[in-house]
A and B are shown apart, each in its own frame.
Chain A
Amino acid sequence: MSDVNNLHDIGTLLNVICPMHAVVDHTGHIVHAGASTHKLFASGDALGARFLEAFELKRPRAATTMKDLRAMAGVKLHLKLRAAPRTELKGILVPLGKDTTFGPPGGAIINLSFGISVLDAVNDFSLTSADFAATDLAVEMLYLVEAKSAAMEASRKLNLRLQGAKVAAEEQAFTDTLTGLRNRRAMDHVLNRMMETEQDFALMNLDLDYFKAVNDNMGHAAGDYVLQRVAQIMVNETRSEDTIVRTGGDEFVLIFAGLTNRPRVSEIADRLIARLEEPIDFNAQTCRISASIGATLSCDYKMPALEQMMDDADVALYAAKDRGRGQHVLFDASLRGGDRVVAMPGR
């Protein structure tokens, strides 16, 4: 009877100081357990279970007998619940002497803790603050995890908003405000990327013809309106993957990604010129403009170089203007020689 009373006293003490403990006898069976230890068992009752049948000892090494278990006194034990949800636990063991009056002789006292698995364990075992010793930091850890998650979430939202603002700012910085087309900065960006990734493209320099007359005779409002209409036409006549840039007052650059077909470039140039020559009405007046185009294709170069291509597109553009405006010219090496001109009249 003294043994039982003694166990009762020890149990009462352990329940307060470490509610997730187990007292095992010399056969390795649990003879006393804290309230939290009971919760680990589906039945809600740990008493009578063989400790090593309920818990798998993973580190420092496996154990199958009470002797093995007792040999691991004072070192950190890594345990795992054999039953679902197979929760990982940490433990520490104190063996009891063969002749002790403190607990079952030849037994052991094992204190358990969840370690990092406490986050899942509180859900899995419906734990409350009362399941942890007042000195245990588990509840503080749960608090911290929730508090940090909430703070992180607020920071994440701020980051998203700042990122959105950055994208909008970049978008603006790459956009010509009058026409909504890309600006020169955007063009450099697009062309450099194409060169870096070795993508083929066709480069078209387009100058409006007779635009100065519209501006001079009908005023800047008419000029601005014409530029916006021009931008619209160019957007309509190209694909979404093409880039249209307003580089100056009435000067534009069009970049056609993946275009390697000379006749196709000619077709596009012709259609653009035809569409731009359609009369534009502004305040009961009619504006008439046209366009000259010089183009070059990256696939015509053994080693395409950006400066060379832009220069060649300009040479072609001036050749087109020389031929009397409203025309397009595809660059050809002979343009630089000055005798044979590869030109296809615009109309």
Chain B
Amino acid sequence: MHGLINRSIERFVRDTYGRDVWIGLTQKLDLGFTEFESMLTYDDELTARLLDELSSSLDKPTADVLEDIGTYLVSHPSCEALRRLLRFSGVNFVDFLHSLDDLPARTQLAVSDLDLPGLELREFATDFFCLTVHSDQVRMPGFGHVVTGLLRAMADDYGALVFLEHKGGRDGREIIDVRLLETAFASGRDFELGVRAG
């Protein structure tokens, strides 16, 4: 698994639950280190163990933890750089949804060895979309939950009101329903092209 993924989980735990919780996790997992390197690669199995341990120590289903991570990645101040990169994809939430197909490719433009699951958007009505997450492609089971959290936070960011539902997974694919209730529900957060974060 790419270090960036593990590092994101680490930052999520540190920023949300504190340093002690994170150090406790690394000890339980017997990692032998307390910090993941964003630019190194780790065993896939390690990420799975980390998520299992995190879920049991927080007493929360893994799916909920993953969704929280997705939300964290967009809404936490320490992830401002990532939020900005995502905002570059679209001028409004619908535009952003339509750009999701390109997300893995855009990601690889920045970090060439980071493989994200393919995303496929289908539009059933102007306010009803269905997103397929091919999480099996890169052995990231449950990645659809991360996407759900991320979409929820991005909708907030654009000021759109949406209803999101993770419909479960089958054959290594996960389905997310996106219902757009209002495109300009709130004012959303500012995004200026020229203000570079970090």
List residues of chain A with CB under 8 Å of any chain B CB.
119, 122-123, 126-130, 139-140, 142-151, 153-155, 157-158, 161
Contact = CB atoms under 8 A, between A and B. Distances in A.
Interface string B53-79: 000000000000000000000000000
A145 B37 CA distance: 22
Interface string B68-95: 0000000000000110110011010000
A161 B106 contact: no
Contact of B39 (A122, A127, A140, A155): A155
Given A142-B193, A145-B196, A158-B39, 7 more contacts: A126-B192, A126-B194, A140-B88, A147-B110, A150-B82, A150-B198, A153-B198
A271 B4 CA distance: 58
Nearest to A131: B193
B38 A146 contact: no
B198 to A, nearest CB: 6
Interface string B1-19: 0001000000000000000
Interface string B180-197: 000000000000111111
Contact of B85 (A122, A128, A146, A155): A146
A150 B81 contact: yes
Contact of B193 (A129, A147, A148, A155): A129
Contacts of B40: 158
Contacts of A145: 196
B79 to A, nearest CB: 11
Nearest to A154: B38
Given A143-B106, A144-B110, A122 B198 contact: no
A158 B39 CA distance: 7
16 contacts: A119-B194, A122-B192, A126-B192, A128-B192, A129-B91, A142-B194, A144-B110, A145-B196, A146-B84, A146-B85, A146-B196, A146-B197, A147-B106, A150-B85, A153-B198, A154-B4
Contacts of B38: 154, 157-158
B194 A161 contact: no
Residue among B81, B85, B110, B111 with the highest chain A CB neighbour number at 10 A: B110
Contacts of A158: 37-40
Nearest to A119: B194
B125 interface: no
A210 to B, nearest CB: 45
B39 A139 contact: no
Interface string B108-120: 0111000000000
Nearest to A129: B91
A54 to B, nearest CB: 22
Contacts of B39: 154-155, 158
Contacts of A129: 91, 193
B60 to A, nearest CB: 29
Nearest to B196: A146
Nearest to A156: B39
A119 to B, nearest CB: 8
A159 B39 CA distance: 10
Contact of A127 (B106, B111, B194, B196): B194
A154 B4 CA distance: 9
Contacts of A122: 192-194
Nearest to A157: B38
